[in-house]
Amino acid sequence: MVIRTRFAPSPTGFLHIGGARTALFSWAYAKKHGGKFILRIEDTDVERSTPEAVQAILDGMHWLGLDYDEGPFYQMQRMETYKKVLQTMLDKGTAYHCYCSKEELDALRESQMQQGLKPRYDGRWRPETGKTLPQIPTGITPTVRFKNPQTGVVAWNDLVKGRIEIANAELDDLIIARADGTPTYNFCVVVDDFEMGITQVIRGDDHVNNTPRQINMLMALGATIPEYAHLSMILGDDGQKLSKRHGAVSVMQYHEDGYLKEAVLNYLARLGWSHGDAEIFNMQQFCEWFDLDHITPSAAQFNTEKLNWLNAHYIKEATLDALAEDISTRLQANIHKASGAPDLKAVLNLYRERANNLNQLANDVTYFYALPQASAADVEKHITPEIMPAMQKLHQQLAHIEWTAEAIHQAINAVVTEFGLKFPKLAMPLRVMLTGIAQSPSIDQVMALLGQNETLSRINAYLK
RNA sequence: GUCCCCAUCGUCUAGAGGCCUAGGACACCUCCCUUUCACGGAGGCGACCGGGGUUCGAAUCCCCGUGGGGACGCCA
């Protein structure tokens, strides 16, 4: 059997971290089994769906490299299909018209809640042999409801949660088409999963409660029931639920915030899934290893610290070309392209090991291209009057040497020896003068890249 | 309220009855490396929610609590 999975977001917002993980798992499952991954846009909520959101989802998936084999399919473009199926169900009696008004339904719900009952449709328009239906009111266009079985249980073996069983008595007859004729979510999903031949439905576990209804409809349509895998949710860094109001950000925000897609992908893969002790792996490896058996059924808390660690790893792993290309866009106004400016790749090669974020990396190397401003505290602490004679001497020496890290190192050493100092005593003020801060890679290497003229000029600014 | 789901270090997790005096990773702490800060290396701290069973034996199976979450829309 050919494996077919799908990712079916509703375009009511950007692609967030939870959606991205669902997409990643569905994608990987298809890849692993040589199957097809399908993208389906569930845009039947005309009120809230927007073309911008569709684009945002497409952009997010593209950035992460989650390519789909079929689609994107848009449900709004499949209306004819839904209507046809709807009519068939009406004809077969597995669905029926309901003339309740919204107000009537609201009142029903409220009174049930008050009585401590589970709010549900009471079946007043459900046709039954020997039952007399109410008088059809005028001026009300009916909705269509699915005639759910009233006895027995629906059960399925959830691929991540195990067997789940729900009594049909808990389920009511849900609306599958609105009064305006448009089909609703649960119905569209069923028709699409059926017609698109989906074999494994991998989705968020907020859909667990929809599953029994969907299975019942699938059975009414005579369809094969796909397997289901419900993924637990991802909590924010603080353990709180992610929502638009709290912590949920677009995956594209991670790009803007300085994360490599490799890090985000690797991190997401490990959130809720594991392969023994494996922590670092690429997507090819992931697709080989991925399986549904090793998904945790419990919710996972997002941990930015660990993402940072992975990001640091992938920054070290990146090719210098790719890194330079990225950092180049994060550096302000092409400052690194001025003639005589230090080579960005060489600079990044010196700095990549100490970065866990691309924006931070860009910020760290900016002083190579723009004069830094040291803090008064650093100046006071390191550039002391006592060190100035030695610095003066070093400045003279540096003007006459071959500009290599080794020669620079020797020059500093010579001055240090001559003045009876420890190396850092001279290296620290140099750091502050040249980089603007008290932390940097080996100062001789920094100087070698900064260039002789620029180095002498920056030191000189403090000698006056 | 009703139904459903979940429960191992602070966090992500390994664990499918004996291999567990519970393993790995992030974070944290100590030491080493060192030209500062990082990186890297070596150590350390740190968990089976509680109570009952079942069993020769339970983190693993069952039940009950407790705690957390989700769902109950003419939203998806």
Q: What is the CATH number of the domain that holds A273?
A: 3.40.50.620
Bridge partners, residue A138, by sequence: none
Residue A329 lies in a domain: yes
Distance A158 CA to B56 C1' (A): 35
Do residues A135 and A162 both lie within one domain?
A: yes
Could you give the number of structural domains in chain A? 4
pLDDT (tens, 9 = 90+) of chain A, 464 residues, equals 899 999 999 998 889 999 999 999 999 999 999 999 999 999 988 888 999 999 999 999 999 999 999 989 999 999 999 999 999 999 999 999 999 888 889 888 888 888 877 888 988 999 988 888 888 888 889 999 999 999 999 999 999 999 999 999 999 999 999 999 999 999 999 999 999 999 999 999 999 999 999 999 999 999 999 999 999 999 988 888 877 667 768 899 999 999 999 999 999 999 999 999 999 999 999 999 999 999 999 999 999 999 999 999 999 999 999 999 999 999 876 666 666 688 999 999 999 999 999 999 999 999 999 889 888 889 888 888 989 999 999 999 998 899 999 999 999 999 999 998 889 999 999 999 999 999 999 999 999 999 999 999 999 998 87
Residue A220 lies in a domain: no
Residue closest to B75 C1′ by Cα: A45
pLDDT of residue A89: 96
Do residues A333 and A385 both lie within one domain?
A: no
Which A residues 34-53 have CB within 7 Å of strand B?
A: 42-45, 48
Do residues A64 and A89 both lie within one domain?
A: no
Domain termination residue (choose one: A247, A282, A317): A317
Residue A218 lies in a domain: no
pLDDT of residue A129: 87
Do residues A46 and A134 both lie within one domain?
A: no
pLDDT of residue A339: 67
Do residues A61 and A91 both lie within one domain?
A: no
Which nt has its C1' nearest the CA of A409? B35
Residue A165 lies in a domain: yes
- Cβ A117 to strand B below 7 Å: yes
- Cβ A271 to strand B below 7 Å: yes
Q: Which of A90, A102, A94, A81 is nearest to A182 (CA)?
A: A81
Match 């328009």 to its residue by tokens: A125
Do residues A428 and A413 both lie within one domain?
A: yes
Are A32 and A287 contacting, i.e. CB atoms less than 8 angstroms apart? Answer: yes
Q: Which amino acid is at A335?
A: I
Bridge partners, residue A201, by sequence: A228
- Cβ A407 to strand B below 7 Å: no
Q: Which amino acid is at A388?
A: M
Which nt has its C1' nearest the CA of A113? B1
Domain hosting residue A363, numbered range: 320-368
Contacts of A130 (CB under 8 A, 6+ apart): none
Residue A195 lies in a domain: no
Do residues A309 and A325 both lie within one domain?
A: no
Dihedral of the CA atoms A247, A250, A252, A254 (nearest 10)? 20
Do residues A347 and A391 both lie within one domain?
A: no
- Cβ A109 to strand B below 7 Å: yes
Please, which positions of strand B sit below 7 A from a protein CB?
A: 1-8, 10-16, 23-27, 35-40, 69-76
Are A27 and A61 contacting, i.e. CB atoms less than 8 angstroms apart? Answer: no
Do residues A393 and A416 both lie within one domain?
A: yes
Which A residues 84-103 have CB within 7 Å of strand B?
A: 100-102
For residue A162, give the DSSP letter: E
Which nt has its C1' nearest the CA of A179? B74
pLDDT of residue A355: 94
pLDDT of residue A336: 63
Mode of pairing for the β-strands spanning A200-204 and A227-231: parallel
Do residues A47 and A90 both lie within one domain?
A: no
Residue closest to B68 C1′ by Cα: A299
pLDDT of residue A215: 97
Q: Is the interface score ipTM higher than 0.90?
A: yes
pLDDT of residue A117: 79
Domain termination residue (choose one: A177, A198, A222): A177
The CATH number of the domain where A419 resides is what? Answer: 1.10.10.350
The CATH number of the domain where A91 resides is what? Answer: 3.90.800.10
Are A365 and A450 contacting, i.e. CB atoms less than 8 angstroms apart? Answer: no
Distance A101 CA to B74 C1' (A): 9
Do residues A307 and A344 both lie within one domain?
A: no
Distance (Å) of CA A362 to CA A242, A305, A344, A445: 30, 20, 10, 18
Residue A444 lies in a domain: yes
Which A residues 136-165 have CB within 7 Å of strand B?
A: 143, 161-162, 164-165
pLDDT of residue A337: 65
- Cβ A395 to strand B below 7 Å: no
Do residues A155 and A118 both lie within one domain?
A: yes
> Angle at the Cα of A95 (from A90 to A101), degrees rounded to 5?
110
